[in-house]
Amino acid sequence: MKRFMRLWSTTACAALLLSGCGGDSGNIGDYPGGSISTPAPAPTPTPTAGCSVRERQNWAADQMREWYLFPETLPTTLDPSGYSTVDAYIDALTANARGLGKDRYFTYLTSIAEENAYYSSGSSAGLGLRLATDSTQRRVFVTEAFEGGPGLAAGIDRGAEIMAIGTTSANMRTVSAITGSEGLDGVTNALGPDTTGTTRILRIDDASGTRDVSVTKRDFDITPVSNRYGAQILTDSGRQVGYVNLRTFITTAGPALRDAFARFRSQGVTDVIVDLRYNGGGLVSVATLLGDLLGGGRSTSDVLTRTTFRPEKASENETRYFALQPESIAPTRIAFIGMRGTASASELVINSFIPYLNANAGLIGTNTYGKPVGQIALDRSACDDRLRVVAFATQNSAGNSNYFGGLAGSVQASCQAPDDIGYQLGDPREASTRQALDFLAGASCTPISGTVSSQSVNQQRRDLLTPQRPGTAQREVPGLF
């Protein structure tokens, strides 16, 4: 067995507060054609000898010099003594690649235990809300509420605006005051650490009016396909359209996706909406499963995706072909809903279908983040260190792996549409869902450009809120708090 785990990741926003990138984080586990299974969650080990900052920095540098996809960009020498943390040193090592737009904080250090817990079950501690700002970057809205999370249990759902935040009713601060003095960084700080037991008072404004709600953060498992709206069959002008919204590519998504496509298959669905608007990535094994479920019309000799390492690691290159599943369907048209938070494994799926469906595979919404590269995971278990280093590029059957600027320049068909939080995800009245239905019906639309120019889209633009140093869950589920 190889000494690394292959990842498809999305850590795009480690140093950006506003994620248009969809928290770019990784995907641990079995890569297409690989034989590595997802490890079970393990307790965090107590650091031992060999885990000083300097030793960990040296170890990270050694791994990068062996595996990094862009070795020519690494500094010939870089003294780690000038950097107080391992993270800062890694950021310095990748600065040249970042300047070229090839590694936007995709390479980073994380916790083995934390990552394993997330990928096995979606385990996270927080409010269970996905937050975004508007185009003014002075207001904060809830774009999604997760089942099982404390936020939804407290009656907070998509479309609510957070007006003020406090630890008690006596010290509430308005979001406008916080952003005015501290920017959006102040909002993430005001919401407090993602630890069980952290309580915040949120002033919420929604269709029910304005009220103060006390919410206590706790552990919960993210449901990758919502049991409220995540998989459904929509009826539009007499046509049946399959709709599936995938929040993140984690292990537990597999059964939910199979159930959704089994229903589509039983109903003879041939038009599908795949909603990946907030999906920042995850396990490549789940991404290829989604590709297989959509690939019922493909041959086992058709390429789903290829991975290519740097020349001296070419023995690691792999080609993943379509594999028919019992639940697979053969759609004639697919509308992929994507936005700035759509990254990594989500883009892999979209990119894979462009050569086969051509203009019948449409991108709906806005341009995607642009991450055609993936990470491997290199572990130093004694220190609970997992280095996620960009080591390979992914390409579709036509060889396209150059979409660092997003997929708008790669798709043959696209339609601009805003994220309309006035309606639930999957509601035919919601703007992006409506545009996806219209695309499937053959209606004309305004194409997406590399920079979204439509005034109506800009006015309703939502940028997902992301901490400067997001954890695993916040990388894969951008905007999660």
**Which of 158, 190, 221 is the endpoint of a domain?**
221
Residue 426, domain extent: 231-371+395-456
Task: Please indicate, yes or no, if residue 208 is contained in any of the structural domains.
Answer: yes
Question: 181 exposed, middle or buried (CB, 10 Å; 0-12, 13-18, 19+)?
Answer: exposed
CATH number of 194's domain? 2.30.42.10
Helix (H, G, I), strand (E, B) or coil at 345: helix
Whether 390 shows a pLDDT value over 90: the answer reads yes
Give residue 125's pLDDT: 82
What is the average per-residue pLDDT within 257-286? 96
Give residue 469's pLDDT: 74
Residues 131, 117, single domain; the answer is: no
Strands 271-275 and 333-338: parallel
Residues 199, 152, single domain; the answer is: yes
CATH number of 288's domain? 3.90.226.10
Whether 343 shows a pLDDT value over 60: the answer reads yes
DSSP category for residue 480: B
Per the structure, the count of domains in the chain is: 3
**Which of 221, 250, 285 is the endpoint of a domain?**
221
DSSP 356-379: HHGGGEEEEES------EEEEEEE
Task: Please indicate, yes or no, if residue 359 is contained in any of the structural domains.
Answer: yes
Give residue 20's pLDDT: 28
**Which of 106, 121, 136 is the endpoint of a domain?**
121
CA-based nearest residue to 165, from 149, 187, 137: 187
Task: Please indicate, yes or no, if residue 388 is contained in any of the structural domains.
Answer: no
Task: Please indicate, yes or no, if residue 466 is contained in any of the structural domains.
Answer: no
Residues 365, 400, single domain; the answer is: yes
Sign of CA dihedral 423, 248, 286, 362: positive
Q: How far is Cα 76 from Cα 89, in angstroms, rounded to an integer?
A: 14
Assigned token pair, 157: 């759902």
Task: Please indicate, yes or no, if residue 113 is contained in any of the structural domains.
Answer: yes
CA-based nearest residue to 74, from 85, 90, 59: 90
Residues 286, 164, single domain; the answer is: no
Asked whether the beta carbons of 357 and 297 are under 8 A apart, the reply is: no
Task: Please indicate, yes or no, if residue 472 is contained in any of the structural domains.
Answer: no
CA-based nearest residue to 320, from 356, 295, 288: 288
pLDDT, one tens digit per residue, over 18-69 is 222 333 333 433 222 222 223 334 444 455 678 999 999 999 999 999 999 9
Tell me the average pLDDT of the chain. 88
Residues 95, 47, single domain; the answer is: yes
Task: Please indicate, yes or no, if residue 108 is contained in any of the structural domains.
Answer: yes
Give residue 135's pLDDT: 86
